């Protein structure tokens, strides 16, 4: 019994061990295939994100350029001349009443209207003095001079404080500086 059954048992043991090794190798191959597919999907998603990012940056730059061009056109449309005003109004009195301004001539009316339209956004600098009411972060930022900007109502609704304005402007600077090169 012992001599003939021993080799058979060894062969069966080797066969089981071989089957186990093959099984492990198959599982490793399957896991490798899954990892390759996952990596491929991740790389594809990263490429898509990069493409979307570039497209988004381009769209933002286009929107900003469009807004700037529109603002330039609007400001050019509001440049008044004596001839334009004379075409719109029969008399100087009618024009003065329409704009609710006190002037003595067409030229002074034109000057006041053009000066008013160019001052929609008033920017001025003022000395910055530190006192007990000033936050420490403001003191450290720039003790000498600050820039004060008056926002129009629609802009102030979106940018409720100076941090929001600065963040928006820094984003715009990054976007425009990236697309210059």
Q: How many domains does the chain have?
A: 2
CA 155 from chain center: how many Å? 15
pTM equals 0.31
Q: Are residues 13 and 55 in the same domain?
A: yes
What's the residue count for the chain?
181
Q: Examine residue 169 and state whether it is found in any structural domain, yes or no.
A: no
Q: Examine residue 158 and state whether it is found in any structural domain, yes or no.
A: no
Q: Are residues 1 and 44 in the same domain?
A: yes
Task: Give CA–CA dist 2/147, Å, rounded.
Answer: 101
Q: Are residues 5 and 55 in the same domain?
A: yes
Let me know: does 64 contact 175? Beta carbons within 8 Å.
Answer: yes
Let me know: does 80 contact 113? Beta carbons within 8 Å.
Answer: yes
Domain boundary among 102, 118, 134: 118
List 127's β-bridge partners, or say none. Answer: 145
Task: Give CA–CA dist 149/62, Å, rounded.
Answer: 25
The parent domain of residue 1 ranges over 1-62
Q: Examine residue 89 and state whether it is found in any structural domain, yes or no.
A: yes
List 149's β-bridge partners, or say none. Answer: 123
Domain boundary among 37, 62, 87: 62
Q: Examine residue 82 and state whether it is found in any structural domain, yes or no.
A: yes
Q: Are residues 2 and 35 in the same domain?
A: yes
* pLDDT mean for each 10 residues of the chain (181 residues): 57 82 93 92 89 86 80 65 89 92 91 69 34 44 60 81 84 77 51
> What is the predicted pLDDT for the residue at 72?
66
First to last CA, the chain: 87
> What is the predicted pLDDT for the residue at 115?
76
């Amino acid at each position: 019994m012992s001599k003939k059954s021993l080799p058979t048992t060894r062969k069966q043991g080797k066969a089981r061990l071989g089957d186990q090794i093959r099984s492990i190798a198959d599982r490793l191959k399957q896991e490798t295939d899954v990892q390759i597919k996952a990596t491929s999907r991740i790389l594809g998603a990263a490429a898509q994100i990069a493409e979307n990012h570039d497209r988004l940056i381009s769209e933002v730059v286009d929107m900003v350029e469009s807004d700037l061009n529109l603002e330039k056109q609007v400001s050019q449309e509001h440049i008044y001349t004596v001839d334009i005003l004379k075409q719109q109004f029969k008399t100087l009195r009618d024009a003065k009443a329409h704009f609710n301004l006190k002037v003595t001539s067409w030229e002074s009316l034109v000057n006041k209207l053009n000066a008013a339209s160019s001052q929609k956004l008033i920017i001025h600098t003022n000395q910055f003095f530190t006192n007990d009411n000033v936050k420490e972060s403001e003191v450290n930022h720039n003790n000498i001079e600050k820039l004060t900007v008056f926002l129009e109502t629609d802009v102030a609704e979106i940018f409720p404080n100076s941090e929001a304005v600065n963040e928006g402007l820094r984003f715009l600077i990054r976007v425009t500086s990236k697309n210059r090169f």
